[in-house]
Copies of this chain bind each other. A is one copy, B any other.
């Protein structure tokens, strides 16, 4: 099944892709690698998520927030490439979790993004990743993710 078919089957509708927060763009391709900017969880009813893991959000909520940020990431890829089927494979996924100093479940949170990628892209969605716990993020968002993907050659 193609990524586009699987995302339809999951009932996920991709948003327009949130606007960059500063003087930059959401994605750039160099050679056959596509690099993305950091993505935050999607706003719900116009309201962006704010707060820290381990304080305002539990790890399970964090999982859902990572999944939500991943949907924004997919929206960026679709906007850039025209179709998710142009993704040859994922390479890197990096997550920054806005968390308390005692928080330890970064891996469980980021799996919210990783699980979605593997569900949609299969083996091509498997990636290397890093995750860190940061003390603050722009506008107080609870996490950001960014990715490097390999694009199908024309």
B-binding residues in A (CB < 8 A): 21-28, 30-33, 35-38, 52, 54, 89, 91-94, 96-108, 110-111, 114-115, 118, 126-140, 144, 146, 148, 150
Complex Cα spacing A113 to B136, Å: 19
Contacts A99-B135, A100-B136 supplied; 14 other A-B pairs, CB < 8 Å: A22-B129, A28-B89, A31-B32, A35-B92, A35-B128, A36-B128, A38-B130, A94-B130, A100-B135, A105-B138, A130-B144, A133-B135, A133-B136, A134-B135
User: Which B-chain residue is minimally distant from A130 (CB atoms)?
Assistant: B38
Query: Is B35 a contact of A91 with CB atoms below 8 Å?
Result: yes
Query: Is B102 a contact of A136 with CB atoms below 8 Å?
Result: yes
Query: Is B32 a contact of A106 with CB atoms below 8 Å?
Result: no
The residue from B24, B31, B54, B128 contacting A25, defined by CB atoms under 8 A apart: B128
Say whether chain A's binding surface is mostly helix, strand, loop, or mixed.
mixed
Query: Is A138 a contact of B107 with CB atoms below 8 Å?
Result: yes
Complex Cα spacing A106 to B24, Å: 13
Query: Is B91 a contact of A30 with CB atoms below 8 Å?
Result: yes
User: Which B-chain residue is minimally distant from A90 (CB atoms)?
Assistant: B28
